[in-house]
């Protein structure tokens, strides 16, 4: 059984003060102007200790309309700002985040429930994407091409789209917003952010942090907006003024977003569910497997879209691998995530705990065998009721519950005989986000990465499924949505492509040699 360790939550009041978080907070902002809306109240409680953090006045439809009009006006100015200048402003935002890394990371940990190390790491991702975007601001390249007509030149260029709507999830309260916003800003877009209502104070903190940078650079109101409350999402999805919606969340809601934006010929970037597997070959280094699998399965209490949910193990090393995992799980410490001695924090709320318990029961009914027992952790220091034990269940890939994504620290283990069988098992789920193989066999590595290999957007060798660097495009296939965010050429999603032809001659020849004499 996993160990438990607790330590009183400390320093939170000071953190909230540094970040400008009050007992009553605004629910809408256009940058430096915060709107004191008269909308319904939304209270934020920490899953760490169940304590009240702050209250937000949810944005009303009138607030939404005011923010959108402001954003429209801001875009007309921001798009004309030279891209390198936009990049320099994003650089300043990155520097500002460096100054506030510790308090913001602590708030992320406290409001969401992930470990302090992960909270700080999430803020570092924000800093990193700002650095990436600064360089990108001078590399928004288009192609040149030869024309088939004499004395003609052809090229393509990229223009900003306009308002980018960002709808983010609770598990990464700030990083996913920054992935989108930093790139969108240097591309010349303006951003309207609808954060998860479960971690809304983190969004307010971000707006507070960057407001001085916006003001110092005379950035027009509306370049960086925040709207809080679930009704805002529906308004944004159906708003023709928002050409692009970037949505992170469940596959179920992602389908709604995709349908709404497609109906109005808008675009969507969808980062949806994951059901990620690690294949453990008989040629694997089990020490490396241990680190990758355990962190992948229990990090963020299993609440990452890249969490390791299935471990597909070669039959020849199955028993040995299970024994190593059981020993490691027995050493896990569950408790206050602000205490660096702990490995596993709480789930986000009681609904998540209910889903966790239901998934375990469903797995048992389908024939699953408990390898490491789960359950709710009770006692002093666990007053929120959201702490659960990471568990391991021996299962078959065909179980209905194994085919689903449960946002909790449940790891399903299963055997395979051949590498081809393992890859087929890995692919045989509706989702297609992240995947991994641990092996020292070159043939297995290459097969896993080939056209006949993993069908996921991310395929790793000898590292786990969770975690991603901002230099590479992030996203997945199938029910994961097909979107891409962050690095590589993901910036193109935030712009519109335009092909240009210039005739610098004195004649007007037509393409394809067509004659049209008049």
**Taking a C-beta distance cutoff of 8 angstroms, is the pair 410, 373 a contact?**
no
Catalytic residue among 305, 386, 391, 456: 305
Burial of residue 331, with CB atoms counted within 10 A of its CB: 0-12 exposed, 13-18 middle, 19 or more buried: exposed
Respond yes or no: is residue 444 known to be catalytic.
Answer: no
Q: At 391, which helix (H) or strand (E)? A: strand 391-394
The strand pair at 152-160 and 144-146 is best described as antiparallel
Burial of residue 492, with CB atoms counted within 10 A of its CB: 0-12 exposed, 13-18 middle, 19 or more buried: middle
Respond yes or no: is residue 271 known to be catalytic.
Answer: yes
Three-state DSSP class for 498? strand
**Taking a C-beta distance cutoff of 8 angstroms, is the pair 251, 476 a contact?**
no
How far apart CA 349 and CA 248 sit, in angstroms, is 19
Closest CA to 87 of 139, 123, 147, 46: 139
**Taking a C-beta distance cutoff of 8 angstroms, is the pair 141, 273 a contact?**
no
Percent of the chain that is helix, strand, coil (3-state, to 5):
40, 20, 40
φ and ψ of 203, to 5 deg: -65, -40
How far apart CA 484 and CA 465 sit, in angstroms, is 17
**Taking a C-beta distance cutoff of 8 angstroms, is the pair 359, 400 a contact?**
no
Catalytic residue among 111, 118, 122, 271: 271
Active site residues: 271, 305
């Amino acid at each position: 059984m996993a160990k438990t360790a607790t330590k009183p939550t400390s320093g939170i009041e000071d953190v909230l003060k540094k970040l400008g978080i009050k007992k009553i907070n605004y629910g809408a902002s256009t940058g430096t102007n915060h709107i004191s809306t008269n909308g319904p109240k939304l209270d934020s409680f920490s899953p760490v200790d169940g304590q009240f953090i702050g209250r937000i006045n949810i944005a009303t439809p009138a607030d939404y309309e005011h923010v959108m009009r402001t954003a429209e006006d801001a875009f007309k100015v921001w798009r004309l700002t030279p891209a390198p200048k936009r990049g320099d402003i994003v650089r300043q935002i990155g520097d500002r985040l460096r100054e506030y890394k510790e308090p913001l990371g602590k708030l992320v940990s406290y409001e969401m429930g992930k470990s302090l190390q992960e909270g700080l790491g999430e803020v570092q991702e924000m800093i990193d994407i700002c650095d990436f975007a600064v360089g990108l601001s001078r590399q928004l390249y288009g192609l040149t091409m030869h024309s088939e007509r004499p004395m003609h030149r052809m090229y393509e260029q990229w223009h900003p789209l306009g308002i980018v709507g960002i709808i983010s999830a609770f598990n990464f309260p700030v990083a996913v917003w920054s992935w989108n916003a930093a790139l969108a800003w240097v591309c010349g877009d303006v951003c309207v952010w609808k954060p998860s209502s479960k971690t809304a104070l983190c969004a307010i903190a971000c707006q507070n942090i960057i407001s001085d940078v916006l003001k110092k650079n005379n950035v027009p109101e509306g370049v960086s907006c925040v709207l809080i409350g679930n009704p805002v999402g529906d308004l944004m999805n159906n708003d023709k003024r928002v050409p692009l919606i970037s949505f992170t969340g469940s596959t179920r809601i992602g389908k709604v977003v995709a349908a709404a934006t497609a109906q109005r010929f808008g675009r969507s970037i969808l980062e949806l569910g994951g059901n990620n597997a690690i294949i453990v070959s008989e040629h694997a280094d089990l020490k490396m497997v241990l680190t990758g699998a355990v962190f992948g399965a229990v990090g963020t209490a299993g609440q990452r879209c890249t969490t390791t949910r299935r471990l597909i193990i070669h039959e020849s090393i199955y028993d040995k691998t299970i024994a190593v995992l059981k020993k490691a799980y027995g050493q896990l410490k569950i408790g206050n995530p602000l205490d660096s001695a702990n490995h596993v924090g709480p789930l986000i709320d009681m609904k998540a705990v209910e889903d966790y318990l239901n998934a375990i029961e469903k797995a048992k009914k389908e024939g699953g065998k408990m390898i490491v027992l789960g359950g709710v952790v009770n006692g002093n220091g666990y007053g929120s009721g959201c702490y659960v034990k990471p568990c391991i269940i021996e299962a078959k890939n065909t179980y209905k519950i194994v085919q689903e994504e449960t946002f909790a620290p449940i790891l399903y283990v299963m055997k395979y005989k051949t590498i081809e069988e393992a890859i087929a098992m890995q692919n045989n789920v509706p989702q297609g986000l992240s995947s991994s193989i641990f092996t020292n066999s070159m043939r297995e590595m290459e097969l896993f990465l080939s056209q006949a290999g993993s069908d996921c957007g991310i395929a790793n060798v000898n590292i786990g499924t969770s975690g991603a660097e901002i230099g590479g495009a992030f996203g997945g296939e199938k029910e994961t949505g097909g979107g891409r965010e962050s690095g590589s050429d993901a910036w193109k999603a935030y712009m519109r492509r335009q092909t240009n032809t210039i005739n610098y001659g004195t004649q007007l020849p037509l393409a394809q040699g067509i004659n049209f004499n008049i």
